[in-house]
Amino acid sequence: MPEGGGGSGIISGMADQEDKEREKQDLPIHTRLIDRIIEVAETIAYAGIAILLAITAVALLVLAAGKVVALFSEDTSGVALEVLDTLLLVFIVVELLFAVRATVTERELLAEPFLLAGIIASIKEIIVLSVKAAETAGEGSVFRDQMIEVGLLGLLVLFLGITALLLRRKEREPDEGSTGN
């Protein structure tokens, strides 16, 4: 048996794609034309989103680089927090850019890249709130509210992580209709 078990998923995916193409060919010509126009419009919209996200990522990197210079002359902790905040925002934008690319190449909306962007965004806010909470320690309700928010964001990270794990597990399972051969 020279072939490994991994090839069957690729073959199954190709067969599914061929079935979809055959189903499209059975549709009336006006329906296929409308479908094609919508597909082109989707691609143009995704390309626009990708371009704007890429420009945003580059702009944020330039902004962060400009702030790094200030690390050597101003309040180091405040500037370091701003740089970290900006760099984490770059991570979020890049993850969203990956999500757009995955959506275009797979021709379906994938949840995992958005879950990862949510995890990164939540962690970003936890870091920023933790630093701010250290400054407001002993101020009663402000500090308490910040700690509650950090706790809720921590729970959100946990739930998003569990959701991503369950999605990965689900993707590894065979299709419901497969015979298991």
> 97 with 113: CB under 8 angstroms?
no
- To the nearest whole percent, how much of the chain has pLDDT over 70? 82
At how many degrees (to 10) do helices 29-70 and 7-25 cross? 130
Q: Does residue 1 have a pLDDT over 60?
A: no
Residues in contact with 147: Cβ distance below 8 Å, sequence separation at least 6, in sequence order: 133
Q: Does residue 3 have a pLDDT over 70?
A: no
- What is the pLDDT confidence band of residue 2, given thresholds at 50, 70 and 90? very low
Q: Does residue 13 have a pLDDT over 50?
A: yes
C-alpha angle 88-159-176 in degrees, rounded to nearest 5: 115
- Alpha-carbon distance 27 to 29, whole Å? 6
